Structure 1
Amino acid sequence: MPDAPTTLVTYAVSDAVATITLDSPHNRNALSRQLVTELFEHLETAAGDDAVRVVLIQSSGKVFCSGADLSEASTTGMEEGTRRIIALQRLIATMPKVVVTKNLGAVRAGGIGIVAAADVAVSAEEATFALTEVKLGLAAAIISLSVFHRMSPRAASLTALGGEVFTGTEAAAYGLVTKAVPAAELDAEVERLCASFATGANQGIRETKHILNAALVARIDAGAEEMATLSTRLFGSDEAREAMTAFLSRKK
């Protein structure tokens, strides 16, 4: 596997929209310590910038995010990582900006937590999602705090217990994403939405988002410790380590 580039997440601001781009193709934008740290820093920068009203999270390639970095998880454990990903979801839900996600292609496992925590999620109809944790002896524990808040209970059971791929169109029907559009229309639709949100006043956005996300934030705060402990235990189990090692060996 080639070395990771110096920077894995880029940041740019234009017309009140801060665009944060996941750019770690060597591991399919997996949630490595470096990527999560850089994403955190850019989100905090946007949160503190009065000129920014909207934050768009996207990827440089078709893969939005492949979930946890299994190479790191299988060798160094996930105790710190689980808490950081919970904190990432909470930051997205509480920051005083409209957070929009755009995904053209694949979103897996932990990456779905970013989509679920966002205020508005727009997906290509042809994009694919999967809560693959169950296949590896894991559970969608830390991302359940946002993902299962968005999805209907029946959809959550279907996707989390099955671990199978579902489309952007299905993700919209399940409540996970706001809307799904044809891939050719994705950029234009997201640009339109971001421009519309950018017309809001800072105070109006902040207070409206606080009202909208009160239940989500309460859910994150109530379940954070339990889910972090569970996820850390599962990642450290013999069953999961064997499954992750086998998965990584198949990818080589």
Structure 2
Amino acid sequence: MNTPTADTLALQYIDYRCTNRVATITLNRPEKRNALNYEMVSQLKQAFDIAENDDECKIIILKAAGPVFCSGADLEYLQQLEGNSYAENLEDSTHLMQLLHLIYTLKKVVIAQVNGHAIASGCGLATVCDFAYTVPSAQFGYTEVKIGFLPAIVKVFLLRKIGEAKAKELLLTGDLISAEKAKTFGLVNEVVPEEELEMRVRELAERLCVQNSAQAMEVTKELIAMVQELPLKEALEYAAERNALARATDDCQSGIHAFLNKQPIIW
């Protein structure tokens, strides 16, 4: 089956649109505080797959409708899981894992526009994005331990992003933290006034579109993910190989030529 591409796509819980090379994926379940259920995770995977394969898209913004970014797992959905077998629960948790891994390893840069609280797996969505901008009133946290659950999947990404000490504070207390503390932890990049959030995120997305090579950003993102898994010597060898390969790309040769000749680089 061919992957669909479109300037706009409306699913039951997700909206997708692409304008001026910036794709916007919107969580659109505000009446449930954009809580995640199986269908919503499926639709997010579909939207990110479309964005990755959309030739008109260079940068992706993940945002949400309503006052809450994402409150985590849908409570009604959690109730349904009580009767599941281990195999059914494993399939379901793998489904969420695949979404977070997809965003983290996506070839294109993803910016989280966090307009409100991001809790549990909702915080996980923000964590796996490459950038996160938020508002002063937003709270962040992984509350799973408070209900006897485990922040197992998001932990893998959180440890990479903010380190063990800060991850332990978040994961073992289950407490919510303010947007400013989330910034000091490295969980978000910027805290901006609510009325400026959309403009600031859009400015970043459009700046990345204009000033950076898509190919270079893709490989840089891949390198960041890969080298952390390798021993030092292997990581350096892998980085040297990617460096050598990059020199032969059209983007690199065009960029160096333009730089040396003091010409504007058009990406």
TM-score range (shorter-chain normalised) is 0.7 to 0.9
The CA deviation at 1:213 is 2.3
Partner of 2:73: 68
Task: Kindly indicate whether the alpha-carbon contact (under 8 Å) linking 1:109 and 1:132 is maintained by their aligned counterparts in 2.
Answer: yes
Give the alignment partner of residue 83 of structure 1, picking from 94, 113, 125: 94
Give the alignment partner of residue 147 of structure 2, picking from 115, 136, 153: 136
Task: Kindly indicate whether the alpha-carbon contact (under 8 Å) linking 1:93 and 1:217 is maintained by their aligned counterparts in 2.
Answer: no
| 1:30-41 alignment, distance < 5 Å | 30-41=35-46
- C-alpha distance in structure 2 between counterparts of 1:38 and 1:215, whole Å: 30
Query: Is 1:44 aligned to residue 49 of structure 2?
Result: yes
- C-alpha distance in structure 2 between counterparts of 1:216 and 1:176, whole Å: 18
The CA deviation at 1:70 is 2.7
Partner of 2:20: 15
The CA deviation at 1:184 is 2.5
Question: Radius of gyration: which is bigger?
Answer: 2
Gaps spanning 5+ residues in structure 2: where? Answer: 1-9, 231-267
Partner of 2:156: 145
Partner of 2:219: 207
Partner of 1:120: 131
Partner of 1:242: none
Q: Aligned to 2:175, what secondary structure does the other structure show?
A: coil
Q: Aligned to 1:198, what secondary structure does the other structure show?
A: helix
Task: Kindly indicate whether the alpha-carbon contact (under 8 Å) linking 1:126 and 1:169 is maintained by their aligned counterparts in 2.
Answer: no
In structure 2, give the amino acid aligned to 1:47: E
1:76-131 superposed Cα distances (whole Å, 9 cap, x missing partner): 34432211111111111111111010111111001111111111111112211121
- C-alpha distance in structure 1 between counterparts of 2:80 and 2:222, whole Å: 39
Q: 1:117 to 1:216 in 2, by over 3 A?
A: farther
Identical-pair percentage: 30
In structure 2, give the amino acid aligned to 1:135: K
Give the alignment partner of residue 186 of structure 1, picking from 180, 183, 197: 197
Task: Kindly indicate whether the alpha-carbon contact (under 8 Å) linking 1:94 and 1:217 is maintained by their aligned counterparts in 2.
Answer: no
In structure 2, give the amino acid aligned to 1:101: A
- C-alpha distance in structure 2 between counterparts of 1:148 and 1:115, whole Å: 14
Task: Kindly indicate whether the alpha-carbon contact (under 8 Å) linking 1:146 and 1:216 is maintained by their aligned counterparts in 2.
Answer: no
Task: Kindly indicate whether the alpha-carbon contact (under 8 Å) linking 2:11 and 2:43 is maintained by their aligned counterparts in 1.
Answer: no
Partner of 2:118: 107
Q: Aligned to 2:152, what secondary structure does the other structure show?
A: coil
Partner of 1:27: 32
Q: 1:33 to 1:27 in 2, by over 3 A?
A: same
Task: Kindly indicate whether the alpha-carbon contact (under 8 Å) linking 2:14 and 2:25 is maintained by their aligned counterparts in 1.
Answer: yes
- C-alpha distance in structure 1 between counterparts of 2:122 and 2:226, whole Å: 22
- C-alpha distance in structure 1 between counterparts of 2:45 and 2:167, whole Å: 27
Higher RCO, 1 vs 2 (CA within 8 Å, ≥6 residues apart): 1
Q: 1:36 to 1:216 in 2, by over 3 A?
A: farther
Q: Which moved more, 1:43-52 or 1:198-207?
A: 198-207
In structure 2, give the amino acid aligned to 1:209: K
Partner of 1:230: none
Gaps spanning 5+ residues in structure 1: where? Answer: 219-252
Partner of 2:59: 54
